[in-house]
């Protein structure tokens, strides 16, 4: 069974056709820069361009980088304030004439890793943390998704959330070395460990491709491993979310 998976990020929107029985991409990944400003109409137009690129007519799964509830955007996240209150699945369906299932992007990446990657057959509590423009999170208990967590929004200090302190965009903003960034991430992962006592933490997003450069800085009392699908986890998981009809 094949499903088009789309991963919407703060800087890029990526897509590929996915075999959801194996977790493999059956096409090359195609990327279009996220429009600026990333308004609902602008992003929907980019999604349409990706659907047309793959000449796709069928089910689409989409990972979306904001808090969601049943396909409805609860805030603009790192995209645009005008997303608040938008029913994302209905917007994209109206734009493309395809059926859409929308999942939080970190939940989607976690689904890929739980089914095919670093979290496969891991019992207990598994946390997926995606590091990119923001910090996304996916929470799994014995392989079952507990959707729509927002652990990037945990307060760090002085009212500042960890996302603004330890995301990859924070690294670029503050011109941090990998060692300096790793020290910030260690504080974050220690906080996650304190709150959830997970059995495994999986790191996804762009950071998963350079995990070896920060690994020594983030060793704590729980295994932390990179996503096996690396930056493709979001695409694969978006397709998986559509397969399971997760919103």
Confidence of residue 151 (pLDDT cuts 50, 70, 90): very high
Q: What are the structure tokens assigned to 62, written together?
A: 């989409």
Most confident of 19-28, 72-81, 227-236: 19-28
pLDDT digits (tens, 9 = 90+) for 65-99: 999 999 999 998 889 999 999 999 999 999 999 99
Residue 108 has pLDDT above 90, yes or no: yes
pTM of the model: 0.91
Cβ-contact 192, 127 below 8 angstroms: yes
Query: How many whole angstroms separate alpha carbon 75 and alpha carbon 97?
Result: 25
Which residues, including other chains, have CB under 8 Å from residue 138's CB and lie 6 or more apart? 104, 106, 107, 108, 109, 110, 111, 127, 128, 130, 145, 149
Q: What are the structure tokens assigned to 23, written together?
A: 């977790």
Confidence of residue 247 (pLDDT cuts 50, 70, 90): low
At residue 185, the pLDDT reads 97
At residue 246, the pLDDT reads 61
Query: How many whole angstroms separate alpha carbon 241 and alpha carbon 247?
Result: 7
Q: What are the structure tokens assigned to 76, written together?
A: 């603009």
- Over residues 191-201, the mean pLDDT reads 97
Query: How many whole angstroms separate alpha carbon 47 and alpha carbon 70?
Result: 19
Q: Which of 109, 147, 116 is nearest to 21 (CA)?
A: 116
**Portion of the chain with pLDDT greater than 90, in percent:** 88
Residue 187 has pLDDT above 90, yes or no: yes
Q: Which of 151, 144, 148 is nearest to 124 (CA)?
A: 144
Neighbours of 41 (CB within 10 A): 11
Instruction: Enumerate the CATH 3.30.420.40 domain ranges in the chain, comma separated.
Output: 2-107+233-244, 121-227
Domain 121-227 has CATH 3.30.420.40: yes
Question: What dihedral angle (degrees, nearest 10) is formed by the CA atoms of 21, 19, 92, 28?
Answer: 160
At residue 231, the pLDDT reads 76
Q: 2-107+233-244: what fold? A: Nucleotidyltransferase; domain 5 (3.30.420)
CA-derived radius of gyration, the chain: 17
Confidence of residue 139 (pLDDT cuts 50, 70, 90): very high
Neighbours of 180 (CB within 10 A): 13
Length in residues, the chain: 247
Confidence of residue 207 (pLDDT cuts 50, 70, 90): confident
Neighbours of 219 (CB within 10 A): 12
Cβ-contact 103, 116 below 8 angstroms: no
Cβ-contact 241, 61 below 8 angstroms: yes
Whose tokens are 């859409």? That residue is 100
- Over residues 129-146, the mean pLDDT reads 94
């Amino acid at each position: 069974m094949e499903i088009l998976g789309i991963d919407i990020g703060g800087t890029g929107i990526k897509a590929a056709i996915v075999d959801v029985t194996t977790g493999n991409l059956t096409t090359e990944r195609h990327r279009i820069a996220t429009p600026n400003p990333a308004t609902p109409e602008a992003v929907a137009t980019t999604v349409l361009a990706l659907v047309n690129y793959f000449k796709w007519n069928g089910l689409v799964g989409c990972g979306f980088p904001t808090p969601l509830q049943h396909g409805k955007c609860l805030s603009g996240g790192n995209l645009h304030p005008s997303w608040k209150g938008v029913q994302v699945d209905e917007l994209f369906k109206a734009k493309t004439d395809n059926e859409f299932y929308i999942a939080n992007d970190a939940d989607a990446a976690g689904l890929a890793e739980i089914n095919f990657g670093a979290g496969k057959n891991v019992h207990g509590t598994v946390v997926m943390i995606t590091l990119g423009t923001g910090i996304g999170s996916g929470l799994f208990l014995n392989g079952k998704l507990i959707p729509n967590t927002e652990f990037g929004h945990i307060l760090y200090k002085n009212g500042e959330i960890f996302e603004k302190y330890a995301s990859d965009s924070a690294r670029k903003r503050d011109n941090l070395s990998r060692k300096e960034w790793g020290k910030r991430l260690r504080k974050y992962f220690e906080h996650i460990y304190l709150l959830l006592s997970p059995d495994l933490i999986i790191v996804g997003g762009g950071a998963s491709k350079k995990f070896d450069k920060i690994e020594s800085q983030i060793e704590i009392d729980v295994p932390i491993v990179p996503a096996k699908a690396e930056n493709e986890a979001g695409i694969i998981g978006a397709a998986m979310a559509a397969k399971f009809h997760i919103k």
